Amino acid sequence: MGAIERVLITKEELNKQVKEMASRISKDYEGKELVIIGVLKGGFIFLADLAREITIPVDLDFMSVSSYGNSSKSSGVVKIIKDVDTNIDGKHVLIVEDIVDTGLTLNHLVELLKTRGPLSVKICAALDKPSRRKVDVQVDYKGIEIPDEFVVGYGLDYCGKYRNIPEVCILKKDVYLK
């Protein structure tokens, strides 16, 4: 695709990361009642890969949140567009997200879900951009660390596009500086 500057993380690297995380999650939650909550839209591809590598029974649900609008900079405003349908009272919750950037979205989601009586709320994220963190959020299953670059692919978009690229890529700057 012409808008792509270069591939940052290949399919093979993502696949390896997913398998390692799924194996840890399967061990840690063995015999426990786990609800996995995928954060839409960005987390959908990672969750689809991760869920199929998890070897224990889990409930799957989704939340849809928006923090970026149509720009490549975080607004800090987290809007819940779709909430979960599952009752998480007395269950363990694992939030599955595409990337932790400022941490504002996950911080907000953890605090919200904790008010609903779960036994625990943990976080699993495919990518981590620690240099941009604004709030200290504990990521229990931390994915691949990336530099301060705006990335697309593997579920991540720019203006709704490029989510379907199978690798994590750096977008050409002129695409979003236009």
Q: Which of 26, 64, 67, 86 binds ligand 5GP (CB under 6 A)?
A: 67
Q: Residue 165, interface with ligand 5GP (CB under 6 A)?
A: no
Question: What strands, in cross-sheet order, belong to the sheet with 151-152?
Answer: 4-9, 168-171, 151-152
* Candidates 23-31, 82-90, 102-110, 113-121; binding stretch for ligand 5GP (CB under 6 A): 102-110
- Would residue 98 show up in a list of annotated catalytic residues for this protein? no
Provide the 10 A C-beta neighbour count for residue 165.
21
- Write b or e for each residue in 72-103: b if 16 or more Cβ atoms lie within 10 A of its Cβ, otherwise e: bebeeebeeeeebebebeebbbbbbbbbbbbb
Q: Residue 49, interface with ligand 5GP (CB under 6 A)?
A: no
Cβ-based nearer residue to ligand 5GP, 55 or 164? 164
Q: Residue 151, interface with ligand 5GP (CB under 6 A)?
A: yes
Q: How far is the CB of 100 from ligand 5GP (least distance, A)?
A: 5
Q: Residue 128, interface with ligand 5GP (CB under 6 A)?
A: no
Residues lying near ligand 5GP in the complex (CB under 6 A) are found at 42, 67-68, 74, 97-105, 129, 150-152, 156-158
